[in-house]
Amino acid sequence: MFDAPYRLNPQVADEVLSPGLLIFRDLVQKNIETMIAIARGADRLRPHVKTHKMAEIVRLSESKGIHKHKCATLAEAEMVAAAGGVDVLVSYPIVGPNLKRFAHLIRGYRKTTFRATVDAIEAARMLSEAMTGLDRPVPVLVDLEVGMGRTGIAPGEAAAELYAEIGRLPNLVADGLHAYDGHIREMDVEERRKNTVSTRQPVLSLLETLRNRGFEVPRLVLGGTPTFPIHAALDLPGVECSPGTVVLHDDGYATKFPDLPFTPAALLLTRVVSKPRPGRLCLDLGHKAVAADPAGPRARILGLDDAKPIIHSEEHLVVETAHADELPIGTPLLAIPTHVCPTIALHRFAGVIEDGAIVGRWEVTARDRVVGL
């Protein structure tokens, strides 16, 4: 049932509850191997775990030699540490009581190095104060604003000052630069390359300035999926590429960036639950099962290329298709989410598929805000 690479034994399609998240393990493995090949070494990678939020995928990555991880939430950081990861960068501003929780994790997971980013002197001071009493300094990267306008400080003299200030503050050690260029979205590979290279130039200038002034800058953490192959081609000590989506990939990126050699590996099993009008199917794929972003189709339904989305509510996805007559109520279908990262966070467990059969169940550990310690 269903064509390769998404073959499923008929009993799986009959027995899996819908809507259900399925992970095709061999595709995840292949995506990880491709990511390592593009990076030219697992040590040049710091993949973002926010896409999968799963301890099992951290372990799989570790088994392939990836020992550096990036995350957005403290729960993801804890999930990585609890799964045995020894190096995790929280690339999200930590403020308020979250600072105390961060210190708690550092105390609790002694084998893991937790790194942080800051983009303002006041943030660095708050972090420094909150880390009082730890037995090891916290490595801190300066987060640079390179065009997205979300977080960061412009790569320039103020950023160099911030880097120097981190080195002066107690309990912190300056650890490098972080630049996420999530606004770069050109479909044309050459245009994307040009934009990435020119966007990155001020970051490389800042790096050179700091090194010329005698600062240690151990790492330069760069980019996400669309710019990954471009940063991976950069020959510079300390470069760490941080794509996230590639490990599970999705239909949004597969459509927008056909040059990227990754295969969607997380699919949703859904069923026809109603046929309210001729030409219409209602599927159990509401926005509590598949992410409601971005605008446009929320998933590509395999075998229904003409499906036009009509209604998307909490538990229903209504589509119109010329194939509606061929699909009786109860028919199982597979759908590739347009945006896999928020889709995964809607599910507590994923069924793991190998050779068409369910071989296990992985927990989406960090979908919660607190993991446990």
Ligand X SMILES: Cc1ncc(COP(=O)(O)O)c(C=O)c1O
Residue spans of alpha helices (H) in the chain: 10-15, 25-39, 55-63, 74-82, 98-108, 121-130, 157-168, 189-212, 228-232, 251-256, 340-344
Nearest residue (CB) to ligand X, 47 versus 332: 47
Q: Which residue is nearest to ligand X (CB)?
A: 224
Nearest residue (CB) to ligand X, 48 versus 53: 48
Minimum distance from residue 90 beta carbon to ligand X (Å):
10
Minimum distance from residue 65 beta carbon to ligand X (Å):
19
Nearest residue (CB) to ligand X, 31 versus 242: 242
Nearest residue (CB) to ligand X, 48 versus 101: 48
Nearest residue (CB) to ligand X, 73 versus 321: 73
Minimum distance from residue 270 beta carbon to ligand X (Å):
24
CA dihedral 52, 58, 62, 66 (to 10 degrees): 50
Measured CA to CA, the distance from residue 84 to residue 248 in angstroms comes to 21
Measured CA to CA, the distance from residue 266 to residue 60 in angstroms comes to 15
Measured CA to CA, the distance from residue 307 to residue 279 in angstroms comes to 10
Measured CA to CA, the distance from residue 304 to residue 1 in angstroms comes to 15
Minimum distance from residue 344 beta carbon to ligand X (Å):
12
What is the residue whose two structure tokens read 């200038």?
205
Measured CA to CA, the distance from residue 325 to residue 145 in angstroms comes to 52
Nearest residue (CB) to ligand X, 209 versus 255: 255
Burial 233-261 (b: 16+ CB within 10 A, else e): ebeeeebbbbbbbbbbbbbbbbebbeebe
- The residue among 100, 77, 99 whose CA lies nearest residue 88 is 77
Strand bridging mode 172-179 / 219-222: parallel
Nearest residue (CB) to ligand X, 46 versus 271: 46
Minimum distance from residue 4 beta carbon to ligand X (Å):
25
165 Rama sector, left if φ>0, alpha if ψ -120 to 50, beta otherwise: alpha
Token duo for residue 313: 């509510």
Nearest residue (CB) to ligand X, 109 versus 180: 180
Q: Which residues pair with 116 in a beta bridge?
A: 90, 140
Nearest residue (CB) to ligand X, 78 versus 240: 240
Q: Which residues pair with 141 in a beta bridge?
A: 117, 176
Minimum distance from residue 253 beta carbon to ligand X (Å):
7
Minimum distance from residue 93 beta carbon to ligand X (Å):
11
- Give residues in contact with ligand X (CB under 6 A): 48, 91, 180, 182, 224-225, 242-245
Q: Which residues pair with 189 in a beta bridge?
A: none
> What is the end-to-end Cα distance of the chain in Å, rounded?
42
Minimum distance from residue 132 beta carbon to ligand X (Å):
27
Minimum distance from residue 324 beta carbon to ligand X (Å):
34
